[in-house]
Amino acid sequence: MWGIVAAVAVAGITAMLIVGIANKNVSHALDEAVARGDRPAAPDFALPVLSPGGVVKGPEGRTVSLKDLRGKVVVLNFWASWCDPCRDEAPLLQALADRQARNGVVVLGVDIQDGSDAAKKFLRTYGVTYPSLRDRNDDTKNAYAATGVPETFVIDKAGRVAFIHRSTLAADQLDELDRIVAGVAREKTTPEM
Amino acid sequence: MLRRVLIAVAALLMLGLPAAALADEVRGVDVQSLERELRCPTCNGPLAVSDSPAADQIKQKIRDMAADGKTSDQIKAALVADFGREILADPPKEGFDLVAWLVPSLGVLAGLAVIPFLTRRWARRGGRDTPAPVAAASPEELDRLEAELRARDGED
pLDDT in tens, B84-138: 988 999 876 666 666 776 787 788 888 888 888 888 888 887 656 666 667 888 8
Mean pLDDT, chain B, whole residue set? 83
Partner residue opposite A113 with nearest CB, options B54, B56, B61: B54
Q: Is A140 on the interface with B (CB under 8 A)?
A: no
Question: Which one is predicted more confidently, B128 or B26?
Answer: B26
Does position A193 have pLDDT exceeding 50, yes or no?
A: no
Partner residue opposite B41 with nearest CB, options A113, A116, A117: A113
A114 closest CA partner among A127, A131, A132, A130 = A132
Is the CB of residue A160 less than 8 Å from the CB of residue A44? Answer: no
Is the CB of residue A156 less than 8 Å from the CB of residue A162? Answer: yes
Partner residue opposite A115 with nearest CB, options B52, B61, B86: B61
Do A133 and A171 fall within a single domain?
yes
Q: Is residue B125 part of a domain?
A: no
User: Which residues in chain A have Cβ-Cβ distances shorter than 8 Å to B52?
Assistant: 82
Do A20 and A52 fall within a single domain?
no
Q: What is the pLDDT of residues B31-43, one digit of tens each?
A: 999 999 999 999 8
User: Which residues in chain B have Cβ-Cβ distances shorter than 8 Å to A115?
Assistant: 57-58, 61, 82-83
Q: Do the chains contact at B61 and A136, CB–CB below 8 Å?
A: no
Question: What ipTM, to 2 d.p.?
Answer: 0.76
- CATH at residue A172: 3.40.30.10
Interface residues of B toward A, Cβ cutoff 8 Å, are 41-42, 52-54, 56-58, 61, 82-84, 86
Does position A21 have pLDDT exceeding 80, yes or no?
A: no
Domain count for chain A: 2
Do A27 and A44 fall within a single domain?
no
Is the CB of residue A162 less than 8 Å from the CB of residue A34? Answer: yes
| A147: closest chain B residue by CA | B42
Q: Which residues contact A154 (CB under 8 A, 6 or more apart)?
A: A73, A74, A75, A76, A161, A162, A163, A164, A177, A180, A181, A184
